[in-house]
Amino acid sequence: MAVSPARESAGRAVVTLPLARGACIAGAAMEWVLVETPAGGWSVIEGTCSHRGGPLRLGTCDARAVRCPWHGTAFSWSGLIRRGAPAIRVGAVVRAVVPDATARAVQRRVYLAAPGEAGASATRPPARCPEPTASPHPEEIPA
């Protein structure tokens, strides 16, 4: 994935992502996911469930909400977008500002599909919390 490195500024990073499914931003303690919203726009949302830390990018969604794959809690699109990272689309890339100077762009598996779109994958994430692994991001797709 061709991305430019993050620029650090006062504990924040400006990260450039390709306008594509699976584009994510990984920070030291947080993850953000580039998603296509029900309205047809693009937004950079928090990628972690606030209750249990589940990866929202592996959840399911409909026109109203994204559901955590670990415990089914629904997060409204409006709330996710409001709490998301400030971002702007410029052509085929999205630039986002995240509150983590260690943030970097990564390519990950994303199951979220825009409402009405066929699922991104026939494989769904586990229904329960997975066992901890040695890597904090075991599902990273090599570049």
Residue 128 pLDDT greater than 60, yes or no: no
pLDDT in tens, 20-33: 877 888 888 888 99
44-77 as b/e: b if 16+ CB within 10 A: bbbbbbeeeebbbbbbbbeeebbbbbbeebebeb
| H-helix or E-strand spanning residue 133 | none
Q: For residue 40, what are the CA distances in angstroms to 11, 14, 76?
A: 31, 24, 16
Residue 45 pLDDT greater than 60, yes or no: yes
Return the amino acid letter for 10.
A
Return the amino acid letter for 102.
T
Q: How high is the pLDDT of residue 113?
A: 60
Q: In the chain, what are the domains?
A: 11-107 (2.102.10.10)
Whole-number Å distance between alpha carbons of 7 and 41: 25
pLDDT in tens, 67-99: 898 988 999 999 999 998 889 988 899 999 998
User: For 38-47, 103-112, 131-140, which range has the lowest pLDDT when averaged over its residues?
Assistant: 131-140
Q: Is the pTM of this model over 0.75?
A: no
